[in-house]
Structure 1
Amino acid sequence: MQIAKNAVVAIDYTLHDTEGEVIDSSPEGEPLRYLHGAGNIIPGLENALEGKTAGEDLEVTIAPADAYGERDDRLTQDVPRSMFEGVEDIKAGMRFQAQTESGPQVVTVAAVTGDQVTVDANHPLAGETLKFTVRIADVREASEEEISHGHVHD
């Protein structure tokens, strides 16, 4: 079966940055399963997998626009340390969920200077070109329930 909209796809993958450093990978023997066409994975990878079949291997480079988007400096701001009530030691790299006008948003602490904390709401991989090595482990038809829910049921 070819990968197409509403197929359940299982992939073994390794994700590298442009310097070849491993960013993420599927655990051995535990492929990532997703519903194709439901927006469960980044668009560039989903597009590259379209039409492929189980057993195929591919390497694909994905530009930021087809991954997590370009970095947006407007998503970085300084906030008072007092906004982190109950957190004694705030350090760069820590992640928090913030309430915004658009709803909950995950932010990463970029820096702490005195009573000011710089937070960044960009995805950690925004602006990055991503390189995937993928082996397609399995492709099957999705159930009606999976299609209606928009994700795979194991």
Structure 2
Amino acid sequence: MNAEKNKVVSFHYTVVGEDGNVVDNSRERPAPLSILLGHGNIIPGLEKALEGRAVGDKFEVELSSEEAYGPRNPDSKQRVPKKYFSGAQKLKVGDVTVLSLKGGGHRVVTVLKVGMTAIDVDLNHPLAGQKLKFDVELTGVRDAQPEEIAHGHAHGPGGNEHG
């Protein structure tokens, strides 16, 4: 079975940034990442690189910033009340943290300034503007369950655990 839209694809990966340093490595986790292919759950270039692959395939792919986290926008900054951050009192300039959004989602941000009641953040993803190199090993492909397609993401180990 090959990886295609509406299949749950499991894979291990290592990501190297432009500076040559490893920025993420799924092999250090208990389970490979599992995603519902074709639903925008991962960066576009990696999702496209997985299409048509089979279990056991190992490959490398280098992605431009446009195919990864997009170009860096120097004007993408915002002042946010501290109540939207977990552990706001411990945050300092340069920290990368998760901002809770009103609709229930999350966004990775970088702290620019910490004030008494608000925190200034850079809304660019920390890897925005970078070319990234992925080393990928496909470990599983299966048909998605109807609930997974309805929810738009994989359930279970390596995916969303609510399912």
Give the Cα–Cα distance (whole angstroms) in 1 for the partners of residues 121 and 106 of structure 2.
14
The superposition leaves residues 106-132 of structure 1 with CA deviations (integer Å, 9 ceiling, x where unpaired) of 54212569xx96521111111111110
**Match of residue 140, structure 2, among 138, 143, 150:** 138
Give the Cα–Cα distance (whole angstroms) in 1 for the partners of residues 30 and 149 of structure 2.
25
Contact 1:98–1:107 (CA under 8 A) maintained in structure 2: no
**Match of residue 153, structure 1, among 137, 152, 155:** 155
Classify the secondary structure of the residue corresponding to 2:66: helix
Give the Cα–Cα distance (whole angstroms) in 2 for the partners of residues 7 and 71 of structure 1.
32
AA at the equivalent of 2:69:
Y
**Aligned equivalent of 1:19:** 19
Percent of residue pairs identical: 45
> In the comparison of the two structures, how many residue pairs are matched?
149
Q: CA deviation at 1:6?
A: 0.5
AA at the equivalent of 2:57:
E
Higher strand proportion (structure 1 or 2): 1
Classify the secondary structure of the residue corresponding to 1:65: helix
Give the Cα–Cα distance (whole angstroms) in 2 for the partners of residues 96 and 135 of structure 1.
28
Query: Gapped runs of 5+ residues in structure 2?
Result: 157-163
**Aligned equivalent of 1:10:** 10
AA at the equivalent of 1:69:
G
AA at the equivalent of 1:145:
E
Classify the secondary structure of the residue corresponding to 1:73: coil
Q: 1:105 to 1:146 in 2, by over 3 A?
A: closer
Q: 1:140 to 1:92 in 2, by over 3 A?
A: same
- What is the TM-score when the length of structure 1 is the normalising length? 0.81
AA at the equivalent of 1:61:
E
Give the Cα–Cα distance (whole angstroms) in 2 for the partners of residues 88 and 153 of structure 1.
34
Classify the secondary structure of the residue corresponding to 2:75: helix
- What is the TM-score when the length of structure 2 is the normalising length? 0.76
Classify the secondary structure of the residue corresponding to 1:153: coil
The superposition leaves residues 29-85 of structure 1 with CA deviations (integer Å, 9 ceiling, x where unpaired) of 5110000001111100000111010000000011111111111011135x59xx548
Q: CA deviation at 1:145?
A: 1.4
Contact 1:98–1:106 (CA under 8 A) maintained in structure 2: no
AA at the equivalent of 1:19:
D
